Amino acid sequence: MTTFAAVQEAQGFLAANPDIELIELFILDANGVPRGKLLHREELLALYQSGRPLPSTMLGLSIQGEDVEDTGLVWDVGDIDCRAYPLPGSLVRLPWRQIPTAAVQVSMHPSEGLPATPADPRQLLVRVIEQLEAEGYHPVMACELEFYLLDQKRDAQGRPQPALDADGSRPRQTQVYGLRELEQLEPFLKDLYAACKAQGIPARTAISEYAPGQVEITLEHGPALAAMDQAVRYKRLVKGVAHAHGMQACFMAKPFAEIAGTGMHMHVSLADAQGENLFASEDPAGTPLLRQAVGGMLASLLDSLLLFCPNANSYRRFQANSYAPLAPTWGVDNRTVSLRVPGGPANTRHIEHRICGADANPYLAAAAILAGIHRGIREALDPGAPVEGNGYAQATEHLPTQWSAAIQALEHSEWAREAFGEAFLKVYLAIKRAEYRQFMGEVGEQDWRWYLSNA
Task: Tell me which residue range forms the domain holding 97.
Answer: 7-119
Q: Cα(328)–Cα(298) distance, rounded to whole angstroms?
A: 6
Question: Facing residues of 357 across strands?
Answer: 263
Strand duo 138-151 + 247-250: pairing:
antiparallel
Ranges of H-type helices in 74-163: 121-133
Q: Cα(254)–Cα(274) distance, rounded to whole angstroms?
A: 41
Residues 331, 386: contact at Cβ < 8 Å?
yes
User: Total structural domains in the chain?
Assistant: 2
User: Quick one: 42 and 190 in the same domain?
Assistant: no
User: Quick one: 96 and 143 in the same domain?
Assistant: no
Domain boundary among 90, 119, 148: 119
User: Quick one: 193 and 324 in the same domain?
Assistant: yes
What Rg, from alpha-carbon coordinates, does the chain have?
A: 22
CA atoms within 13 A on the CB side of 33: 15
User: Quick one: 154 and 189 in the same domain?
Assistant: yes
User: Quick one: 70 and 138 in the same domain?
Assistant: no
Helices 362-378 & 301-308 angle (0-180, nearest 10):
170
Residue 404, in any domain of the structure = yes
User: Quick one: 278 and 301 in the same domain?
Assistant: yes
Residue type, 76: D
User: Quick one: 29 and 148 in the same domain?
Assistant: no
User: Quick one: 258 and 228 in the same domain?
Assistant: yes
Question: What pTM did the predictor assign?
Answer: 0.94
User: Quick one: 157 and 67 in the same domain?
Assistant: no
Residue 172, in any domain of the structure = yes
Residues 139, 132: contact at Cβ < 8 Å?
yes
Q: Cα(347)–Cα(244) distance, rounded to whole angstroms?
A: 40
Ranges of H-type helices in 78-185: 121-133, 179-184
User: Quick one: 275 and 313 in the same domain?
Assistant: yes
User: Quick one: 112 and 135 in the same domain?
Assistant: no
Which of 49, 27, 248 is closest to 154 using CA atoms? Answer: 248
pLDDT by position in tens, the chain (length 455): 678 999 999 999 999 999 999 999 999 999 999 999 999 999 999 999 999 999 999 999 999 999 999 999 999 999 999 999 999 999 999 988 999 999 999 999 999 999 999 999 999 999 999 999 999 999 999 999 999 889 888 887 878 877 777 666 666 655 555 566 667 788 888 888 888 888 999 887 665 544 566 888 888 999 999 999 999 999 999 999 999 999 999 999 999 888 878 999 999 999 999 999 999 999 998 999 999 999 999 999 999 999 999 999 999 988 655 566 778 899 999 988 999 999 899 999 999 999 999 999 999 999 999 999 999 999 999 999 998 888 677 777 788 889 999 999 999 999 999 999 999 999 999 999 999 999 999 998 889 999 988 88
Residue 81, in any domain of the structure = yes
Q: What is the CATH number of the domain that holds 45?
A: 3.10.20.70
Q: What is the CATH number of the domain that holds 359?
A: 3.30.590.10
Residue 296, in any domain of the structure = yes
User: Quick one: 99 and 199 in the same domain?
Assistant: no
